[in-house]
Amino acid sequence: MDPVLEAQRDQTHSASEMDPILEALDPDRTRPADVLHSNSLSLAFGEKAVLSDVNISFRRGTITALIGPTGCGKSTFLRTINRMNDKVSGFRHGGDVSLEGESIWAPTRNLLLLRRRVGMLFQRPNPFPMSIKDNVVAGVKAHQIAKGKQLDVVAEERLRQVGLWDAIKDRLNESPYRLSGGQQQLLCLARALAVGPEVLLLDEPTSSLDPISTEVVEALLRELTPALTLIIVTHNLGQARRVSDNTMFLYQGELVEHGPTAQLFEHPKEAHTENYVTGRIG
């Protein structure tokens, strides 16, 4: 494995054995350790059941990879967490998903605020038809987090965070569609980060990117923890192994197995998991 990634991974792992003094400074110390919890969640479109009885918790500041063959319900599960499925006709859910203890479907829940807290990065870059700078701050403006000159600061900060600033600082008012695919995806990441989410959902974020851009995005994802909690759907088992702390394996609409990534890949408990991670089913 890449030694840089390895070092970063050690850093995040050492968070749990932190010095008590440092722990007292942790801004999230009073919050529940499990930021998201799925409680016997079942999902269906019309008569067609997609997922049944998924029970899993997502620990704050970790990266969870969501793997499984095509059609196993990975994306549906992911898109349920920020309620993107709600307006799909026929979508039904049983059980519950809670964000910090409160159901995402609670009547008191503000959908726009939920989506500010739970951001999303898509399979393919989807910049908006506006300048690069306006793309970065689109969410910031919508949520009225900042205005005027502050927006320039936000744009620079977030573009630096994703490592795009030096490459495009002179092109902030140009079209995002002239950027390379990898740069566009980083721009979308900067846009998602700009509203300050706690959770980031990634739906095969590198599936349309070249290997070098993929590497850049993967390295960035590691840097986003432990401030953020990441859930990444991926078809790329190597990617799951490289970036994630935990892995959950979905198969035919069921959560077959979940656990620490190394354990799931090297000592799977279930036969289906072993068949999938060794490439015997796909």
Partner 1 sequence: MSAFVPFVALVLTVFVLAFKAWPAITVNGVHFLVGSSWKPGNVYGAVSTTGGVAHPFGSSYGAWPAIAGTLESSAIAIVIAVPVSIGAAFALTERLPRWLAEILRSAIEILAGVPSVLLGLWGALTLGPLLANDVYPIVANHMPDVPFFSFFRGPTGHGEGLLTSGIVLSLMIIPIVASTTRNLFAQVPALPKEGGEALGMTDWEVGRKITIPWVRAGIIGATVLGLGRALGETIAVAMISGSLLNTIAPNIYGTMGTVAATLVTQLDSAFADGTGFEVRTLAELAVVLVIVVLIVNTVARIIVRRTGHLAAPVGGVI
Give residues in contact with partner 1 (CB under 8 A). Answer: 82, 84, 111-116, 119-120, 122, 124-131, 138-139, 142-143, 174-175, 177, 188, 191-192, 195
Q: How far is the CB of 214 from partner 1 (least distance, A)?
A: 19
Please say whether the beta carbons of 77 and 55 come within 8 A. Answer: no
Q: How far is the CB of 133 from partner 1 (least distance, A)?
A: 11
| Rg of the chain, C-alpha, whole Å | 19
Give every CB contact of residue 211 below 8 A, 6+ residues apart in sequence. Answer: none
Q: Where does the chain have alpha helices with state H? A: 3-14, 20-25, 74-81, 111-117, 132-136, 138-142, 149-161, 165-168, 181-194, 211-224, 237-243, 261-266, 271-277
Q: How far is the CB of 64 from partner 1 (least distance, A)?
A: 18
Q: Which amino acid is residue 260, in one-letter code? A: P
Q: Where does 1-110 have alpha helices with state H? A: 3-14, 20-25, 74-81
CB of 39 or CB of 131, closer to partner 1: 131
Q: How far is the CB of 202 from partner 1 (least distance, A)?
A: 11
Q: How far is the CB of 53 from partner 1 (least distance, A)?
A: 26
CB of 59 or CB of 171, closer to partner 1: 171
CB of 181 or CB of 282, closer to partner 1: 181
CB of 75 or CB of 98, closer to partner 1: 75
CB of 65 or CB of 189, closer to partner 1: 189
Please say whether the beta carbons of 260 and 64 come within 8 A. Answer: no
